[in-house]
């Protein structure tokens, strides 16, 4: 067998080995990926603060702002889910009756799967999921502590890493690494700004729609929509489905639930399919298929955090691919910019 014939099997085995390692070592790799993502976003702030105050003081200020941002987002999200979760637990008997009625109605219209699902689903099962959230919350806190430590050490070594790359690598390789990192960081910052703005708009509109229809916990639904909108495809779907189910339970009318469901979908469609792509621009253009695959692939490897970080990882990979003539075809195929001009890179690194 020739060497060329061996390339494909070896490549496939290497990909399988890397994917397996990422999944098995999620506790190690996921915090590192999150830390690199945060460093890419906050590094300009760290660099600018160092011009006016000592490096360690600037580092303490930046890390303090990161922790504060984590605390605020986690607090409001926990508050929203907690209020609705307590309401479901308190009214579990009524919700169970409504669900049984819905299952019976669906069976009467020939949807037999509802009966099968009813054997495995009940409100008690939902309550157990909500109660198990406390365990996942403790795990998440441990995860973020490790991330903050990585961010602290990474911000201290960012400049040294760039200098070491210039010494250890060839000029061409060092240029690809440093310029690719700068351009990737710029795109990730833009991605987060756009995603945050669109999440705020989505949350505000969900709150307004819920309040207009008299749905309980309108503010909480808006906060949940804001938080889940950071996860493409999956997040908006869940943020649409949950208030729809609650609307059916509250109003006891399928028509009201359908109207709210339609209104929420219009909001998600207009913002996600029309406004956001135009705000993000061509610099973040990725094939929708690739985005969806990234969300499911990384959620399979790393759970909920993987669903959030999947698209940023894809942006980073395609940006690095665009830096080299041998891999630029991957960036073009996936819908990323064909390459970055020297002017773009200089603007990013300034």
pLDDT in tens, 122-155: 555 555 555 555 556 566 778 888 999 999 999 9
On whether residue 17 sits in a domain, the answer given is no
Domain count, the chain: 2
Residue 53 has pLDDT above 80, yes or no: yes
Nearest-10 Cα torsion for 337, 300, 31, 14: -70
pLDDT of residue 116: 47
Same domain for 131 and 190, yes or no, is: no
Pick from 138, 168, 198: which residue ends a domain? 168
Same domain for 275 and 218, yes or no, is: yes
Same domain for 163 and 305, yes or no, is: no
- Structure-model confidence comparison of residues 98 and 186, the more confident one: 186
pLDDT of residue 151: 93
Pick from 136, 168, 200: which residue ends a domain? 168
On whether residue 37 sits in a domain, the answer given is yes
Q: Is residue 236 packed enough to be buried (19+ CB in 10 Å), middle (13-18) or exposed (0-12)?
A: buried
Q: How far apart are CA 91 and CA 117, in angstroms?
A: 21
Same domain for 102 and 129, yes or no, is: yes
- Structure-model confidence comparison of residues 127 and 15, the more confident one: 15
Same domain for 303 and 194, yes or no, is: yes
Mean pLDDT of all residues belonging to the chain: 80
Same domain for 36 and 163, yes or no, is: yes
On whether residue 68 sits in a domain, the answer given is yes
Residue 256 has pLDDT above 80, yes or no: yes
Per-residue pLDDT band at 335 (split at 50, 70, 90): low
Q: What range does the domain containing 147 cover?
A: 26-168
pLDDT of residue 136: 62
pLDDT of residue 80: 86
- Which of the residue ranges 24-33, 76-85, 246-255 has the most confident prediction, judged by mean pLDDT? 24-33
- Structure-model confidence comparison of residues 34 and 339, the more confident one: 34
Pick from 168, 203, 236: which residue ends a domain? 168
């Amino acid at each position: 067998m020739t060497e060329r014939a061996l390339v494909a099997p070896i490549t496939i085995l290497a990909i399988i080995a890397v994917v397996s390692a990422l999944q098995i070592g999620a506790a190690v790799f996921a915090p590192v990926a999150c830390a690199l993502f945060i460093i890419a976003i906050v590094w300009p702030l760290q660099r600018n603060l160092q011009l006016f105050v000592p490096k360690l003081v600037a580092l303490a200020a930046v890390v303090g702002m990161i922790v504060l941002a984590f605390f605020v987002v986690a607090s409001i999200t926990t508050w929203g889910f907690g209020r609705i979760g307590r309401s479901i637990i308190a009214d579990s008997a009524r919700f169970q009756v409504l669900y049984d009625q819905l299952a019976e109605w669906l069976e009467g219209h020939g949807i037999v799967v509802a009966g099968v699902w009813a054997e495995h689903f009940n409100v008690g099962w939902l309550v157990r999921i909500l109660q198990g959230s406390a365990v996942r919350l403790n795990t998440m806190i441990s995860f973020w502590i490790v991330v903050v430590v990585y961010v602290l050490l990474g911000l201290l070594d960012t400049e040294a890493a760039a200098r070491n790359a210039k010494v250890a690598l060839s000029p061409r390789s060092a240029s690809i690494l440093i310029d690719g990192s700068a351009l990737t960081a710029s795109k990730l910052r833009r991605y987060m700004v756009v995603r945050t703005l669109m999440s705020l708009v989505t949350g505000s509109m969900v709150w307004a729609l819920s309040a207009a229809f008299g749905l309980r916990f309108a503010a909480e639904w808006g906060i949940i929509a804001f938080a889940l909108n950071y996860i493409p495809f999956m997040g908006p779907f869940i943020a649409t489905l949950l208030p729809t189910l609650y609307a059916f339970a509250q109003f006891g009318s399928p028509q009201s639930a359908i109207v709210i469901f339609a209104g929420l979908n219009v909001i998600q469609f207009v913002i996600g399919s029309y406004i956001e792509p135009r705000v993000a621009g061509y610099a973040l253009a990725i094939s929708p298929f690739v985005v969806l695959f990234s969300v499911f692939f990384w959620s399979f490897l790393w759970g909920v955090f993987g669903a959030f970080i999947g698209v940023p990882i894809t942006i980073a990979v395609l940006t690095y691919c665009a830096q080299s003539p041998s891999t630029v075809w991957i960036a073009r195929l996936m819908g990323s910019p064909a390459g970055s001009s020297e002017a773009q890179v200089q603007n990013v690194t300034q």
